[in-house]
Amino acid sequence: MQIDIKEGRYFLIDKPYTWTSFQVVKKLKIAIRKLTGEKKFKIGHAGTLDPLATGLLIVCLGRWTKKIESFQSLDKVYTGSLHLGATTVSFDLEHDEDTFYPTDHITEDLVRQTAKSFIGEQEQIPPVYSAVKIGGKRLFSYARGDQDVEIKSRKVNIYDFEITKIEFPEVYFRIKCSKGTYIRSIARDFGLRLNSGAYLSSLRRESIGDYDVTQALSPEEWEKKLISSELPDMTL
């Protein structure tokens, strides 16, 4: 199947660990340029995944870039793990642990009850190390420049929060949530609700709406298919 730049298509990507969402888009962009000879075309992703997260990333090309907002509005499912008893400034493994907290009072029952307390609509404050824009700048730009900035809360909805395994200090979970939900913020708040500390130690986006990571290909696999023009149908 040849690719039509103007009509475009979407790509379901299984984003590798440490890759930025921008790197994924750039990889596809270079492959499409080599394939078509076109220098200018619209391409972008429908929702950032942090570098230390893996899983489903939807990239849109051509006319499909007009559908980015509709993809972003879909509910998401994530799996991952929390590390209890410590915090980091980024709420994940991007930075070293900076503060430590007691965990002797934390039981498996308390962990499961705390997870249940998150279910429903709530106000959430995004992490300072995030791609949220304030005053035309990404929040992480303020953080890296040691600049203080007021971060407003936003409404999010947690539909399901299942604890799948507990191996203290690691707690494994599956979350279904609305658009705009930061799992790193849930990790921070989880620690607070336990009267302790917590950060996100792993994260994988399993699905976006009806699109599942099991349907996705790695950036390298997509590159090979673009070069050979063996593109799968978009009705995956």
Rounded Cα distance, 27 and 32, in Å: 9
**Residue 120 contacts residue 157 (beta carbons within 8 Å):** yes
Helix, strand or coil, per DSSP, at residue 135: coil
Query: Could you confirm whether 148 is annotated as catalytic?
Result: no
Collect all residues with Cβ–Cβ distance below 8 Å to 219 and sequence separation of at least 6.
13, 15, 16, 19, 24, 27, 28
Torsion angles phi and psi, residue 47, rounded to 5: 120, 110
DSSP state letters, 178-200: -TT--HHHHHHHHHHHTTS-EEE
Kindly list the distances between the CA atom of residue 234 and the CA atoms of 3, 11, 65, 119, 186, in Å, as whole numbers in the listed order: 12, 8, 14, 34, 33
Could you tell me which of 137, 141, 53, 148 has the C-alpha nearest to residue 94?
Answer: 53
Place of tokens 């620690």: 191
Task: Given the residues 4, 14, 50, 148, select the one marked as catalytic.
Answer: 50
> What residues are annotated to the active site?
50
